[in-house]
Amino acid sequence: MSKIIDFRTDPSKYRHWRVEYAGEVATLYMDVDENAGLFEGYQLKLNSYDLGVDIELNDVVQRMRFEHPEVKVVVMKSGKDKVFCAGANIRMLGGASHAHKVNFCKFTNETRNTFEAAEADSGQRYMAAIKGACAGGGYELALACNYIMLTDDSSSNVSLPEVPLLAVLPGTGGLTRVTDKRKVRRDLADVFCSVEEGVKGKRAVDWRLVDEAVPNSKFDAVVTERAQEFAAGMTAKASSGIALGPLARSISENGSVAYSLVEAQVDRTSRRVTITLHGPDRPVPASTEALVAEGDQSWMLRLAREFEDLILHLRLNELEVGLWSFRTQGDPEAVLAHEAFLLANKDHWLANEILHYWKRTMKRVDVTSRSIATLVEHGSCFAGPLAELIWAGDRSYMMEDEFEGDNRPLAAIRLSEGNFGAYPMGNDITRLQTRFLAEPEHVEALKTQIGETLEADSARELGLVTYAFDDIDWEDEIRIFMEERVSFSPDAMTGMEANLRFAGPETMETRIFGRLTAWQNWIFIRPNATGPDGALQRYGTGVRGDYSMQRV
């Protein structure tokens, strides 16, 4: 088996980022170690990045929320002279497999979305303070910040040169954020994305590419002043946070994975994995003080961390395991009680962060390019936050009536207040609203079922599951579905599922993951970009890519 990509890290292991904390303001330095690439064959020069750099950034962003809730403003800077960030490393992209390139872009998109949402979700505003060249993915890092400052000098600029230089698209939301977030005029955006040299100073401000351009002599002072201004206008959350300790994980030879609350039984021969999430193994905290005292061991936080790590691990390390089946085991009453405590205390910083973490983890499920089936079995605990897994699935199957020799409680679904707003999808509506897009009144009617025990007949009648089968048909129906699913073309499945999952409103997030990802996926296999004479292969040689000029 090839090298396992491990998404678990902590500040003691960082090679590419460092953070300086000063009360309400943190300064995040990108200082990439060019000799610490995730794979061999390239150097990460000019603050360019690969997946390993972004794994660290993802960790920084999560820890900022949980370990440093006192921080109101995060200033992102370069730790190198004359360059902010050169973007994704071209040598890495040129040598990476198609699957790695696509998954790399997806993960970096998720990371940028996470710190972009930090102001609204967690009261942490990210500022980009750009000195030097800020190109491609480097500008996409800045675009995901809530405020962009640029040094006004002869060399500092912002650019998205992917189209003219590399025959690909900005892979981390650049095109979408330029138009939808920065609201750059279409013709000016066209010019900007077609030139290699970028845009500087006052023109960058006039075109709305940055918020502020400051002379070099005053830049550092104005950045500090602006950060303090922003911090003064934001509400404090807490004076100290909790530590996120290391995740304990074991991986067997056959690829199966186990954590404390999550386990995955991998069957590479049949290209399937069964993922089981366990209900609470501890009582509900007696108070928010008790929640803080539990720290990273509280049930829902631990579940979110372990589940997220598993999702990322399976995405990158088990590429041919194309069908994920979700199961749960535990007490649904306990699940509802833990969630109810968090919802009742959502004004408390830690309860708020845990709820948002589960929301982000479920979004990772939504955009994962795997077929997903949810199995609502006897003894399961599909209640509240875990019930979201039913509607995140492409299909769901539920056990009906008693099964011979099975004395577990009958399969049931329990709705909670959280299912009606706490965990929206990327389209900014709930999974239930997305499921019943033609029947908004049905979603309202479902609120009357909150807390009720909905067994198979009721769940099927309410449209909460796809199928319900009894003891006679269960095994055969599940087997037939799974065998059929893994026999289909993975490419067709990826396209079909991504199109069907995001009904409803289009948002910046759905455009990034739906439209941009699909186009980039296609472009990454075209010879103009990745062929032997394509732009990615010829980059740095002085010879332009040899393009097929057919417009498709």
Per-residue 3-state assignment (H helix, E strand, C coil) for 307-339:
HHHHHHHHHHHCCCCCEEEEEEECCHHHHHHHH
Residue 18 lies in a domain: yes
* pLDDT the model gives residue 159: 98
Residues 261, 185 share a domain: no
Residues 217, 81 share a domain: yes
* pLDDT the model gives residue 238: 93
Q: What is the CATH number of the domain that holds 295?
A: 3.90.226.10
Residue 4 lies in a domain: no
**Distance separating alpha carbons of residues 473 and 470, to the nearest angstrom:** 6
DSSP of 109-143, one letter per residue? HHHHHHHHTHHHHHS-EEEEEE-SEEETHHHHHHH
* H or E segment and range at residue 461: helix 456-461
Nearest of 551, 516, 468, 476 to residue 180 by alpha carbon: 516
Question: Which residues lie below 8 Å from residue 464, measured CB to CB, with a gap of 6+?
Answer: 390, 391, 396, 413, 454
Low-confidence stretches of the chain (pLDDT beneath 70): 1-2
**Distance separating alpha carbons of residues 12 and 333, to the nearest angstrom:** 39
DSSP of 508-531, one letter per residue? HHHIIIIIIHHHHHHHTTSHHHHS
Query: Half-sphere exposure (CA, 13 Å, Cβ side) for 428?
Result: 8
Lateral strand order in the sheet of 73-78: 17-22, 25-30, 73-78, 125-130, 147-152, 212-215
Residues 193, 278 share a domain: no
Nearest of 22, 5, 115 to residue 60 by alpha carbon: 115
* pLDDT the model gives residue 517: 82
Residues 425, 334 share a domain: yes
Q: Give the residue ranges of DSSP H helices in 320-395.
A: 332-344, 349-366, 388-392
Residues 506, 373 share a domain: no
| CA angle at 188 for the pair 515 and 204, rounded to the nearest 5° | 105
Residue 454 lies in a domain: yes
Residue 333 lies in a domain: yes
Residue 477 lies in a domain: no
**Distance separating alpha carbons of residues 178 and 262, to the nearest angstrom:** 39
**Distance separating alpha carbons of residues 28 and 19, to the nearest angstrom:** 5
Residue 410 lies in a domain: yes
Specify the DSSP class assigned to residue 367: T
Residues 299, 216 share a domain: no
Task: Name the residue type at position 381.
Answer: C
For residue 15, give Cα distances in angstroms to 49, 244, 331.
12, 19, 42
Question: Which residues lie below 8 Å from residue 311, measured CB to CB, with a gap of 6+?
Answer: 361, 364, 365, 368
Residue 485 lies in a domain: no
Residues 282, 215 share a domain: no
Residues 25, 121 share a domain: yes
Domain membership of residue 462 as a residue range:
254-470
Query: By three-state DSSP, how is residue 239 classified?
Result: coil
Percent of the chain predicted with pLDDT > 70: 100
Residues 259, 159 share a domain: no
Q: Is the dihedral of CA 133, 16, 302, 318 positive or negative?
A: positive
* pLDDT the model gives residue 1: 41
Residue 465 lies in a domain: yes
Residues 512, 402 share a domain: no
Tokens linked to 265? 């039984």
**Distance separating alpha carbons of residues 64 and 353, to the nearest angstrom:** 11
Residues 177, 96 share a domain: yes
Query: Half-sphere exposure (CA, 13 Å, Cβ side) for 512?
Result: 29
Model-level pTM?
0.97
Q: Last residue of a domain, which of 425, 447, 470? A: 470
Distance, first Cα to last Cα, the chain: 37
Residues 151, 280 share a domain: no
Helix-strand-coil split of the chain, %, nearest 5: 45, 15, 40
Number of domains in the chain: 3
Q: Last residue of a domain, which of 450, 470, 490? A: 470
Nearest of 494, 491, 516, 536 to residue 171 by alpha carbon: 516
